Amino acid sequence: MSRGFKLGVLAAAVMATAPAVQAFEAGDFILRAGVVHVAPDDSSDPLLVTGFGPLAGNRDLLAGTEVGVDANTQLGIRATYMFTNSFGLGILGATPFKHDIKGESSLAGAGKLGETKHLPPTITLQYFPMPSSSAFQPFVGVGVNYTTFFEEKTTDKLTGFVDSTANAAYGTPQGTVTSTKLDLDDSVGVAFEIGMDYMLSKNFGLNAAIWWADINTDATVSAFAGDTKVAEATTEVEIDPMVYMVGFTYKF
């Protein structure tokens, strides 16, 4: 028996068995776990300050007072339910991301101004263009991201900046502003993804994916003199992160 004939028989045997081993088919549930890195492409409007109580009547746009958000890495979990051989419904979840909020532009020297945690559940309709028998399964998806923020905190640096700004602009005594509070609105926006799975066996494989999500939040910093609210600063922050994930795939 010639070597070429033997190789041909072997290749035919592999092709015959591949669909049973590698298939992504309707009804499959695909679970993925790995490391997720969120890298914001952030920008913000200048702070708009409104006065209350002793500062009532003051409303100023502070040019150059932008803020930014740093990156963070967490454990990610993704799941896909295949309702046809080519289309699936995907869900992205993760352990809570923690981000430092820092000064930008004229506030760049202020350093960390606050911090927050967020959860970014994302639902996408996914399309898998390869035949269901292929071990390599690239996909694209489009859907909706919902981001909820919690455990927002401010730093003494931010409180000191607000106090000194009130002193310089309105002549209030140093130490008038004794504390600050940060609130971030939840966000709903479109999300896009591209990724791939490579199945090493019938049930186990490797995966990688990239998302872009439209995440915008209205941030409000409230300033207090004791228990009295004396001012608030508002700004719209565009986070719009790129999200990267690598991990393992389990299909059942």
Greater confidence (233 vs 130) lies with 130
- Are 146 and 188 in contact by the 8 Å Cβ rule? The answer is yes
**CA-CA-CA-CA torsion for 110, 112, 113, 118, nearest 10 degrees?**
150
Q: What is the pLDDT of residue 5?
A: 38
Burial 186-215 (b: 16+ CB within 10 A, else e): ebebebebebbbebeeeeebebebebbbbb
Reported pTM: 0.81
Amino acid at 110: A
Q: What is the pLDDT of residue 129?
A: 95
Asked if residue 56 has pLDDT above 70, the reply is no
Residue 100 tokens read as 């430092």
88-99 confidence digits (pLDDT tens): 999 999 999 999
Write the CATH number for 54: 2.40.160.20
From CA 108, how far away is CA 114, in angstroms rounded?
13
DSSP character at residue 113: E
From CA 22, how far away is CA 88, in angstroms rounded?
16
Q: What is the pLDDT of residue 227?
A: 86
* CA end-to-end span of the chain: 40
Which phi and psi (to 5°) does residue 155 adopt? -110, 165
From CA 123, how far away is CA 192, in angstroms rounded?
10
Q: How confident is the model at residue 22 (pLDDT cuts 50, 70, 90)?
A: low
Tokens 């600050």 found at: 180
191-236 confidence digits (pLDDT tens): 999 999 999 998 999 999 999 999 999 999 888 988 888 888 888 8
Domain range spanning residue 9?
3-251
Residue 70 tokens read as 């740093």
Highest mean pLDDT among 19-23, 41-45, 224-228: 224-228
From CA 174, how far away is CA 164, in angstroms rounded?
7
Mean pLDDT of the chain: 84
Q: What is the pLDDT of residue 9?
A: 41
From CA 145, how far away is CA 154, in angstroms rounded?
26
Report the number of distinct structural domains present in the chain. 1
160: left (phi over 0), alpha (psi -120 to 50) or beta: alpha
Q: What is the pLDDT of residue 226?
A: 86
Asked if residue 10 has pLDDT above 60, the reply is no
Residue 61 tokens read as 């746009």
Strand ranges for 59-186 from DSSP E: 59-62, 67-69, 72-82, 87-94, 97-103, 112-119, 122-127, 136-154, 179-184
Task: Give the whole-number percent of the chain exceeding pLDDT 90.
Answer: 50
104-124 confidence digits (pLDDT tens): 777 777 778 899 999 989 999
Greater confidence (226 vs 29) lies with 29
From CA 203, how far away is CA 96, in angstroms rounded?
28
Amino acid at 250: Y
Greater confidence (191 vs 102) lies with 191
- Can you say whether the dihedral through the CA atoms of 44, 47, 48, 50 is positive or negative? positive
